[in-house]
């Protein structure tokens, strides 16, 4: 029954426009606070061990690097070089 309630809360939060990441972080926090199935002292350790996996951390950092390239002038320089010799783009962009 609790699974159904929390799934419905997730759907309601998403339909209200709450960001999915925030909704998915808020509901387990509420569940842990109201039930004593997991001790609160183990939550930071579990969060750290989830972020300790390097392939999972690489994806957001790759997206951040792409956004930084969009904000800076690296993208424009790479696009200008792309018309000439595409092999030199990674070398000259760095």
Rounded mean pLDDT for each run of 10 residues along the chain, 94 residues in total: 84 90 84 78 78 77 85 72 61 56
Tokens of 87: 């092999």
What is the pTM assigned to this prediction? 0.44
What local confidence, expressed as pLDDT, does residue 81 receive?
A: 62
Contacts of 6 (CB under 8 A, 6+ apart): 27, 31
Tokens of 81: 């070089």
Domain residue spans of the chain: 1-52, 54-94
């Amino acid at each position: 029954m609790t699974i159904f309630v929390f799934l419905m809360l997730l759907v309601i939060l998403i339909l209200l426009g709450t960001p999915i990441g925030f909704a998915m972080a808020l509901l387990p926090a509420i569940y842990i606070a109201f039930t004593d199935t997991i001790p609160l002292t183990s939550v930071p350790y579990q969060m750290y061990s989830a972020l300790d996996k390097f392939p999972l951390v690489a994806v957001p950092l790759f997206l951040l690097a792409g956004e930084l390239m969009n904000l800076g002038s690296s993208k424009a320089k790479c696009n200008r070089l792309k018309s000439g010799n595409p092999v030199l783009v990674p070398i000259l962009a760095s």
